[in-house]
């Protein structure tokens, strides 16, 4: 892992762990905020009827995936799960297009943009081709070492 990854992944992951724990301990406010979005979504997608459970599942995904990202375990999978969990959170929590008040609209647009930027960072982790390249490089080096050792072996008499 690069020094930048050692710093950036825990910063992003800890944000989600903290947010998820907060939602798990007090799910009612986010559930109230999500209810109109979930009602609209149910018109197109079959979802369970219990909004609190859906909000808690989303929060649990954020806690688990945030912890995985923070510790550097399965970072690409964790980042993908976090980006997926952030999408409904953003659409439900910051529908700036529905705000009549210009001040509220601007505030919600800022929060929407912040979440979109975080999603962009998460997708950058998901697309980290360097991770695959590094693993491939290590395997190639190991194979090369084996070939060198085999070539230096004494010839049988």
Ranges of each domain in the chain: 3-151
Task: Show Cβ contacts of residue 122 under 8 Å, excluding neighbours closer than 6 positions.
Answer: 12, 79, 80, 82, 83, 86
pLDDT at 43 over 90: yes
Task: Show Cβ contacts of residue 36 under 8 Å, excluding neighbours closer than 6 positions.
Answer: 92
Q: Is the pTM of this model over 0.85?
A: no
Residue 6 confidence class, pLDDT cut points 50, 70, 90: confident
The pLDDT, as a whole number, for residue 100 is: 95
More confident residue, 140 or 75: 75
CA distances from 99 to 31, 107, 109, 140, 141 (A): 19, 10, 10, 56, 57
For the chain, the average pLDDT equals 89
pLDDT at 129 over 70: no
């Amino acid at each position: 892992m690069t020094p930048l990854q050692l710093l950036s992944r825990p910063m992003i992951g800890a944000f989600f762990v903290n947010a998820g724990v907060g939602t798990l301990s007090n799910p009612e406010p986010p559930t109230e905020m999500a209810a109109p979005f979930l009602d609209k979504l149910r018109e197109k997608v079959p979802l369970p009827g219990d909004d609190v459970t859906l909000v808690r599942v989303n929060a649990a995904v954020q806690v688990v995936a945030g912890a995985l990202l923070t510790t550097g375990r399965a970072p690409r999978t964790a980042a993908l799960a976090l980006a997926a969990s952030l999408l409904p959170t953003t659409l439900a929590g910051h529908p700036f297009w529905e705000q009549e008040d210009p001040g509220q609209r601007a505030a919600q647009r800022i929060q929407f943009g912040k979440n979109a930027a975080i999603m962009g960072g998460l997708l950058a982790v998901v697309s980290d081709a360097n991770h695959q390249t590094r693993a491939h490089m290590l395997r190639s080096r190991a194979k090369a070492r084996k070939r060198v050792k085999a070539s230096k072996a004494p010839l049988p008499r």
